[in-house]
Amino acid sequence: MKLVLAIIQEKDASTLQSSLNDKKITSTQLPTKGGFLKAKNTTFMIGIDEDRVQEVLDIIKESCQARDQYVTPPINLAGSISDTSYPVEVQVGGATVMVLPMDNFYRF
């Protein structure tokens, strides 16, 4: 088995959840926060047989959109801390996905 960890935008969480449910794929959602934007995001934990990993990746790809967001860095272009730094545009998502080996899976 594998553990798929997918960090996605909160806005896409219900779409992804429904698509996984439709395929009878079990998942757990964790409320998380990105280190750069410090905005809330959602992390899905999905334990899945190895031969269904690609199916899960395809569902994630279809359910999650990339979006542009603005962030105001605390450091201005001259490199010093300032109140006058300009917002910069970053593209977030669709999804950051990690696939980990799972040695054992128990349900007691």
Among 3, 7, 25, 57, indicate the residue that binds ligand 2BA (CB under 6 A). 7
The reply to whether 37 sits near ligand 2BA by the rule CB under 6 A is yes
Task: Phi first, then psi: give them for residue 57, nearest 5 degrees.
Answer: -60, -40
Give the shortest CB-102-to-ligand 2BA separation in angstroms.
19
| H or E element in which residue 56 lies | helix 53-63
Q: Which residue is nearest to ligand 2BA (CB)?
A: 34
Site for ligand 2BA in 10-29 (CB under 6 A): none
What is residue 57's three-state secondary structure? helix
Among 13, 20, 41, 44, indicate the residue that binds ligand 2BA (CB under 6 A). 41
DSSP 38: -
| H or E element in which residue 55 lies | helix 53-63
* Distant-in-sequence, close-in-space partners of 79: CB < 8 Å, separation ≥ 6: none
The reply to whether 101 sits near ligand 2BA by the rule CB under 6 A is no
Give the x-and-dash track for 53-72 against ligand 2BA (CB under 6 A).
Answer: --------------------
